[in-house]
A and B are shown apart, each in its own frame.
Chain A
Amino acid sequence: MALGLTIKFLGTIVELALPMILSFMIDDVVPTGDRGMIYKYGGVMFLCALTALVGNILANRVAARVARDTMESLRSALFTRISYLSSRQVDSFTIPSLESRLTSDTYNLHQTIGMMQRMGVRAPILLLGGIFVTVTLEPVLTLVLLSTLPFISIVVYFVSRKGIPMYRFVQEAIDRMTSVVRENAQGIRVIKALTKEEYEKARYDRANDNLTKREKTASLTMASINPVVNVFVNLGFVAVVIVGAYRVNSGATLPGVVLAFMNYFTMITMAMMMITRMVIMVSRATASATRIAEVLDAPVDMAVVPEEETDRLTAEDVPAIEFDDVTFSYNGKKEDVSHVSFRLGKGETLGIIGPTGAGKSTLIQLLMRFYDPDSGTVRIDGRDVRTIPHERLAEKFGVSFQNDFLFADTIRENVDFGRGIADDDVLVAAERAQAAPFIEEKEGGISHSLTIKGANLSGGQKQRLLITRALAGNPEILVLDDSSSALDYATDAALRRAIRENYAGKTTSVIVAQRVSSVKHADLILVLEEGEITGMGTHEELLDSCELYREISESQMGGAVLE
């Protein structure tokens, strides 16, 4: 970068010499009538022009490279930071906003970094150089011209100070528009089915109008800099002509000097224009940079707690999973999980069942440390999950969430998920997850490409693929969060059988389900209701002791919903 700036510096200086030579020619060479000298200086000018050409091209390329490298590492850092944001932080930034920070904001910065290097050197040099040369030519006239600078600075300062927050509003409006588009792409089936296209258009138009309005305000504000600066500079020049006339008349200066001044004046004007353009871009970039910095500077949430600070259970038969009086709330008001305690031995299966919104998935989120409990402790193998480094914790789990994430890549990649799992293991897992039959039918088998969000799979196929992913890593702890709801009973039963046969006793499993049949063979079943455990035990025990469980069970085994 320093190299680029130096080259740029040289190129610009050489360009600056051109009008100087021109002035020298007209004032000093021409009156002598020496044609040879005229050719000679013409030659020098040509050389200067050539040097400027090479220098500027080189410098611009260096600038482009610097901008590229800066952006590459900044964007990467940003994505990395985003990847490690805690769930709470993601919730508060929101995904559309993170997305537009990662794209639109970094793009603004990229543009500005490139331009700043090109103009950022050129403009000040042209300006300072112009001023320097004019000072040596004629200090008094220069002072006259410079007297406009304070006014210009004040204008630029105030306008850009107003502009930065405006550009922030613009970016926020982009967030909102992004979020509407995202939602619509996700919900297009529902929107079309309900013929809500017009409604959505209206919703989008509001976001669009709002963005347009903010962009206009910001642009108009920033656009006022240019004419104001122009007026000041040009009036300064008029003053130069008048004062110059007096000084020529009094013999203090020569007409040729005033003439040369005009040339430098053009240069200074150009420099001022560049500077105002830069101010505009920098204002916008500052707003974007702040938004990026907010993410980069977000405090590390849920850091790994040193183990000494917690008590570790070291008994022989320490439970694989233990919840010790855990209480948690998403919003800090209503408790989503309250005073949950249970223990699960190694290789055992835990079933969690309960009505909608009882906090079943929340327990999983706490177990995997997406959130930290407000009070109480979650332990895995006797160790507080907060003391386990994130990656070590993650590699213990194989998990399938409700409506989990599939992406546009091959089936193999979707299962492997960057873990480097051998094809054979993928196939074995697919077999157990009952996914093998439909995968085989696909062209290319596990090399078959999924479309975005796995849209070319049926709901049940998606779930089986997600379970394949969960099984493929031979996890210590298998978590299936309501992940077989779209499977027909026969497939579901086969799946459960396969899991029981292959993993029971080795893999600790946590199964969240709506169906009693999915959990009835579990070693321990938790019945949750409104965040509290209302029943705990085996299927048989619960049928005796827990009314809610009995009700659920009966409703599923017997009575029809439709008459």
Chain B
Amino acid sequence: MNKGFGMPKGPVATDPRNVPTGGAKKLKVLLRLGVYIFKYKWLFLFALLVAVASNLFALSGPKLSGLAIDAIEFGEGHVDFETVFYYAGLMAVFYVLSSLLGYLLQVIMINLSRSIVRQMREDIFAKLMRMKIGYFDKTQVGDIISRISYDIDTINATLSTDFVQICTTVITVFGALGMMLSISPRLCLVFAITVPASILFTIYNTKHVRPLFRARSAKLGELNGYAEEMLSGQRTIRAYGREKEMIARFDKRNTEAVDAYYKADYYGTLVGPTVNFINNLSLTMVSMFGALLYLGGAISLGNVSSFVLYSRRFSAPINEVANIVSELQSAASAAERVFRLLDEEEELADVADAYGFTDVKGELETENVQFGYEPDRPIIKNLSIKTKPGQVIAIVGPTGAGKTTIINLLMRFYDVDSGEIRLDGTPIREGERAALRRAYTMVLQDTWLFSGTIRDNIAYGASGEVTEERIRECAKAAGIDSFIRGLPDGYDTVITDEGVNVSKGQRQLLTIARAMMSDAPMLILDEATSNVDSRTEMRIQKAMLSLMKGRTCFVIAHRLSTVRGADTILVLRDGEVIEAGNHDELMNMKGFYHSLFHAQFEG
């Protein structure tokens, strides 16, 4: 018995009650976004400086034009042209500089935000590669893609404009406030009413909008997930003529998605006009009180006009901020989805000082292994196998008996619930996962190939550099070389997604060639030739034998003829080995294997 490793059993369910809610959560999301920006802190600081400078120049515009107009104000025949030209000249220079800096700022921010977005996309993908295999059984690819595209896009929009805008806004607001104070402190009192009003409104609105944006991201993800799923099954849908039903189902999700979008919009659109209204209110008050002050002789006409301009400059950013806050909501919901993916449970990290599995001999042993995908429903019960290097172990049994699950455990796609698996005497849990997997090469029923050339797909099986000869050699051995050469582009033929140009069986031969590229000491054949006809199978028999030679092999097959020569045949039923031995021994037992064997000749 093993001494009871403190293995966490099954996925550690995240208790929804533990998830920080509301403000705390949002803050955390923003902080995490901040971490990404922090990587570029110097660039970001520089951007801020540029933004400040650009704004200061732009801010001087009204002041200068006010001064110029003051010089005009003397009326007919008394205009002070020297002053007008002086200030007009300054205005021109300032505006040009401001625009130049504005462009520079955009260039910086585009570079910055794109780098961050690129990084996030990379992180997501790297995360996907570390994810437990089961993740892909419960998450629609379309939803993942929605996170990589829509959600990250939303974040990008915020990063590239809003962050700098918030910072410059603060500057503009204070700059304008200073200017206005210098003109007329009394008029500034107007803002003592309108600014808090804007703030209160924004806070109020934010509360309503936040969950709506969250729903919007989620619904879009769902829609994408569904679309992806249905597009993948397009052929079958056509075969059954079920287009109408599938369209109706798509429409339902589509309606939900656009509705969620609309609801977020519905509240979102309150912000602009409302804050605008508050601004117009200040304009009204400023002009009224300004007029009254002018009448009282407390202010010049030019100053009233400058003040009005500044007050617009002052309120425009407040307007902006209100809008940004609502955009931030949508970015925060998007970021939340991205971070949730980044926080998904990964494959357990290798233990410290993990064994590197070098020079593997291929002696594999499982001891009292028990495992279930759901903790209370064991698929594998008390499995003990022992192999010597170079032996061929066949696993047979009815479908659903747990054959593929054993492979999952051997390759550590899942960790056992109890018991232990040892390779060359080292518990595989104490080794490096990657090194363990490198010790195997495999051919699966699943004939996955990526969209690339045939050459690249075959070379995929090797861990290092490969020569063209080696690729051809393996293709020849797998009996697929002549087919490949018959293709118009030969080895450069690009395998497409659904692959009309290469049949299922040919794809399987390609995966066999791919497996041959490897020099791993162990081999897994999981229904390796199920898509290949038996004549082709015979033809590649020599190759299969050479593939198996010197390796410890695990063979899962239904064609019992394929497993006859195995050193040990394990007959699996309901997760338990019910019979074990070589073919002759098992036949003599006249048990389950015997009946399985005869079934194939019945018809």
Q: Do A and B come from one complex?
A: yes
Q: Of B248, B399, B448, which contacts A460 at CB under 8 A?
A: B399
B509 contacts A258, C-beta separation under 8 Å: no
Q: How far is the CB of A310 from chain B (nearest CB, A)?
A: 21
Known: A178-B149, A194-B460. A33 touches B280 (CB 8 A): no
The stretch of B26-34, B121-129, B363-371 in contact with A is: B121-129
B558 contacts A487, C-beta separation under 8 Å: yes
A190 contacts B146, C-beta separation under 8 Å: no
CB-CB < 8 A to B231: which residues of A? Answer: 82, 95, 98-99, 102
Q: Of A75, A248, A368, which contacts B254 at CB under 8 A?
A: A75
B107 contacts A486, C-beta separation under 8 Å: no
CB-CB < 8 A to A293: which residues of B? Answer: none
Known: A186-B448, A259-B69. A560 touches B238 (CB 8 A): no
Within 8 A of B (CB), among A193-224: 193-197, 199-201, 203-205, 208-209, 211-212, 215-216, 219-220, 223-224
CB-CB < 8 A to A262: which residues of B? Answer: 62, 65, 69, 305, 309
CB-CB < 8 A to A50: which residues of B? Answer: 277
Q: Which residue of B lies closest to A514 (CB)?
A: B533
* A452 interface contact, C-beta 8 A: yes
Within 8 A of A (CB), among B377-430: 392, 396-400, 403-404, 411, 413
* A309 interface contact, C-beta 8 A: no
Q: Of B84, B235, B277, B488, which contacts A370 at CB under 8 A?
A: B235
The stretch of A159-167, A391-399, A503-511 in contact with B is: A391-399
Q: Of B65, B276, B564, which contacts A241 at CB under 8 A?
A: B65
CB-CB < 8 A to A402: which residues of B? Answer: 504, 531
A224 to B110, CA, bound (A): 12
Q: Of A33, A419, A489, A562, which contacts B564 at CB under 8 A?
A: A562
The stretch of B6-14, B331-339, B438-446, B469-477 in contact with A is: B438-446
* A181 interface contact, C-beta 8 A: yes
CB-CB < 8 A to B404: which residues of A? Answer: 458-459
A79 contacts B69, C-beta separation under 8 Å: no
A266 to B305, CA, bound (A): 12
A245 contacts B451, C-beta separation under 8 Å: no
The stretch of A228-236, A337-345, A374-382 in contact with B is: A228-236
Q: How far is the CB of A362 from chain B (nearest CB, A)?
A: 8
A79 contacts B250, C-beta separation under 8 Å: yes
Q: How far is the CB of B365 from chain A (nearest CB, A)?
A: 20
CB-CB < 8 A to B373: which residues of A? Answer: 456
Q: Which residue of B lies closest to A353 (CB)?
A: B533
Q: Which residue of A lies closest to B449 (CB)?
A: A187
Most central of B72, B115, B559 by chain A CB within 10 Å: B72
A94 to B498, CA, bound (A): 9
Contact string, B274-301, partner A, CB cutoff 8 A, digits 1/0?
A: 1011001101110110111011000001
A451 to B545, CA, bound (A): 37
A560 contacts B564, C-beta separation under 8 Å: yes
The stretch of B40-48, B94-102, B166-174 in contact with A is: B94-102
* A114 interface contact, C-beta 8 A: yes
Known: A50-B277, A98-B231, A99-B227. A177 touches B438 (CB 8 A): no
Contact string, B495-534, partner A, CB cutoff 8 A, digits 1/0?
A: 0111011111110110100000010000010010111111
CB-CB < 8 A to A544: which residues of B? Answer: none
B501 contacts A103, C-beta separation under 8 Å: no
* A418 interface contact, C-beta 8 A: yes
CB-CB < 8 A to B496: which residues of A? Answer: 91, 94
A209 to B119, CA, bound (A): 10
The stretch of B137-145, B175-183, B348-356 in contact with A is: B137-145
CB-CB < 8 A to B527: which residues of A? Answer: 459, 485-486
Q: Could you tell me the dominant secondary structure of chain B's interface residues?
A: helix
Q: Could you tell me the dominant secondary structure of chain A's interface residues?
A: helix
* A405 interface contact, C-beta 8 A: yes
B446 contacts A189, C-beta separation under 8 Å: yes
Within 8 A of B (CB), among A455-494: 455-461, 464, 473, 482, 485-491, 493
B81 contacts A401, C-beta separation under 8 Å: no
A18 to B288, CA, bound (A): 12
* A317 interface contact, C-beta 8 A: no
CB-CB < 8 A to A517: which residues of B? Answer: 600-603
A87 contacts B149, C-beta separation under 8 Å: no
B446 contacts A190, C-beta separation under 8 Å: yes
B236 contacts A404, C-beta separation under 8 Å: yes
* A129 interface contact, C-beta 8 A: no
* B77 interface contact, C-beta 8 A: yes
* B579 interface contact, C-beta 8 A: no
CB-CB < 8 A to B38: which residues of A? Answer: none
Q: How far is the CB of A348 from chain B (nearest CB, A)?
A: 17
* A318 interface contact, C-beta 8 A: no
Most central of B250, B284, B396, B397 by chain A CB within 10 Å: B284
Q: Which residue of A lies closest to B264 (CB)?
A: A64
Q: How many residues of B contact A (CB 8 A)?
A: 198
* A289 interface contact, C-beta 8 A: no
A407 contacts B294, C-beta separation under 8 Å: no
B413 contacts A216, C-beta separation under 8 Å: no
Q: Of A46, A64, A203, A560, which contacts B281 at CB under 8 A?
A: A46
* A226 interface contact, C-beta 8 A: yes
Q: Of A69, A98, A224, A490, which contacts B596 at CB under 8 A?
A: A490
* A22 interface contact, C-beta 8 A: yes
Q: Of A69, A185, A255, A521, which contacts B136 at CB under 8 A?
A: A185
CB-CB < 8 A to B529: which residues of A? Answer: 561
A562 contacts B562, C-beta separation under 8 Å: yes
A227 contacts B564, C-beta separation under 8 Å: no
CB-CB < 8 A to B107: which residues of A? Answer: 220, 223
CB-CB < 8 A to A460: which residues of B? Answer: 398-400
Contact string, B232-261, partner A, CB cutoff 8 A, digits 1/0?
A: 111111111111111111110011001101
CB-CB < 8 A to B276: which residues of A? Answer: 15, 52-53, 56
A83 contacts B291, C-beta separation under 8 Å: no
Q: Which residue of B lies closest to A333 (CB)?
A: B488
Q: How far is the CB of B106 from chain A (nearest CB, A)?
A: 4
B71 contacts A188, C-beta separation under 8 Å: no
B223 contacts A103, C-beta separation under 8 Å: yes
A451 contacts B241, C-beta separation under 8 Å: no
B500 contacts A53, C-beta separation under 8 Å: no
CB-CB < 8 A to A153: which residues of B? Answer: none
B99 contacts A227, C-beta separation under 8 Å: yes
* B546 interface contact, C-beta 8 A: no
* B68 interface contact, C-beta 8 A: yes
B247 contacts A76, C-beta separation under 8 Å: yes
Most central of B107, B146, B400 by chain A CB within 10 Å: B400
A357 contacts B506, C-beta separation under 8 Å: yes
A192 contacts B413, C-beta separation under 8 Å: yes
B114 contacts A219, C-beta separation under 8 Å: yes
CB-CB < 8 A to B438: which residues of A? Answer: 195
Within 8 A of B (CB), among A96-127: 96, 98-100, 102-104, 107, 110, 114, 118
* A136 interface contact, C-beta 8 A: no
Q: Of A39, A189, A197, A399, which contacts B288 at CB under 8 A?
A: A39
CB-CB < 8 A to A555: which residues of B? Answer: 534-535, 537-538
Known: A39-B288, A223-B106. A452 touches B536 (CB 8 A): no
Q: Of B139, B234, B537, B601, which contacts A83 at CB under 8 A?
A: B234
* A417 interface contact, C-beta 8 A: yes
A453 to B150, CA, bound (A): 24
* A140 interface contact, C-beta 8 A: no
Closest 3 CB pairs of A and B: A460-B399, A394-B241, A356-B505
Cross-chain pairs A/B with CB under 8 angstroms, 29 sampled? A15-B280, A49-B280, A49-B283, A63-B269, A64-B266, A64-B269, A79-B227, A87-B235, A103-B223, A184-B125, A193-B442, A193-B444, A201-B126, A208-B122, A230-B99, A234-B92, A238-B91, A238-B95, A263-B309, A391-B241, A403-B504, A486-B530, A486-B558, A493-B603, A514-B530, A514-B531, A555-B534, A561-B537, A562-B548
Given contacts A118-B269, A562-B565, 13 further A-B contacts (CB under 8 A): A22-B283, A26-B290, A38-B292, A49-B284, A60-B272, A79-B251, A107-B220, A181-B145, A234-B91, A456-B137, A458-B399, A514-B531, A561-B537
